[in-house]
Amino acid sequence: TVKAVIFDLDGVLVDTAVYHFQAWHRLAEGLGYSFSLVDNEQLKGVSRIESLELILKWAGAKISDAEKADLLSLKNKWYLELIEQLSPDHLLSGSLDLLEKLQKKGIKIALGSASKNAMGILEKTGIISYFDALIDGNVVQLSKPNPAVFLKGAEALGIEPACCLVLEDAQAGIDAARAAGMQVIGIGQAEHLNGADLVVADLGALVDKF
Ligand code: G6P
Ligand code: MG
């Protein structure tokens, strides 16, 4: 039985994945690399620094640590500009209905996101009060597929991993949930979500399961 649901943020609850893509695309352009949607799929769920390392590798660019730090703050500056107008309108289909339903059923709710911008996004979209535990990229540095972000969530809720269900839109996140010994449902297209117990198009499809 499921006693807790741990939500990924970007691409699961909120439609921010497109803004990460736009900011990385702009950054890669400056490196002379044409960053594709296929590339972007590999960055979903992956921390900011590890994402940059991958892009530098694909671009064949060798730069200093100081230059890396500059690029990281530039990417985040562009990303923050893109999400400045974020509002409840950017919640993905079914987000609110599912959060409401879980709360009503007494199922614990946690966030398990790699993003350091997670708190601001939850506030702008008005859903922060639904969460019993918030684990983000400031709390856990180890990037998915490392299970740390989900294990910390379970620990904070006081629920054993086997009774936790993770909702994820990224392959790295599915792998992290599996490594944590949790159940996992993929949100999106099955071809990008190998190893999920189930894949659905959006959170709305899950409301009646609880
Ligand atoms: C999530 C997103 C990634 C993003 C990462 C770090 O996992 O799926 O695309 O790179 O968070 O986000 P941040 O907001 O800290 O740059
Ligand atoms: Mg995601």
pLDDT at 124: 98
User: Could you tell me the sign of the dihedral formed by the alpha carbons of 165, 170, 171, 176, in that order?
Assistant: negative
Which ligand minimizes its atom distance to the CA of 9?
A: 2
Cis peptide leading into residue 145 (ω within 30°): yes
Residue 132: alpha-carbon gap to chain centroid? 17
User: Over its length of 210 residues, how does the chain's per-residue pLDDT go in tens digits?
Assistant: 999 999 999 999 999 999 999 999 999 999 999 999 999 999 999 999 999 999 999 999 999 999 999 999 999 999 999 999 999 999 999 999 999 999 999 999 999 999 999 999 999 999 999 999 999 999 999 999 999 999 999 999 999 999 999 999 999 999 999 999 999 999 999 998 999 999 999 999 999 999
At a CB cut-off of 8 Å and minimum separation 6, what does 176 contact?
A: 45, 144, 145, 146, 147, 149, 150, 166, 168
pLDDT at 160: 98
CA of 33 to the centre of ligand 1 (A): 20
Ligand 1 nearest-atom number relative to CA 9: 1
8 as an active site residue: the answer is yes
132 as an active site residue: the answer is no
Pair 16, 167: CB distance under 8 Å: no
- C-alpha span between 186 and 160 (Å, rounded): 21
Instruction: Give nearest CA residue, ligand 1 atom 6.
Output: 115
pLDDT at 169: 97
The ipTM value here is: 0.99
Ligand 1, residues at Cβ distance < 6 Å: 10, 20, 43-48, 51, 76, 113-117, 137, 170
Q: Which two three-digit tokens encode residue 133?
A: 């535990």
pLDDT at 120: 98
pLDDT at 206: 98
pLDDT at 188: 96
Ligand 1 nearest-atom number relative to CA 117: 14
- C-alpha span between 191 and 200 (Å, rounded): 12
Pair 114, 20: CB distance under 8 Å: no
3-state helix, strand, coil in the chain (%, to 5): 50, 15, 35
3-class DSSP state of 110: strand
- C-alpha span between 106 and 4 (Å, rounded): 9
pLDDT at 20: 97
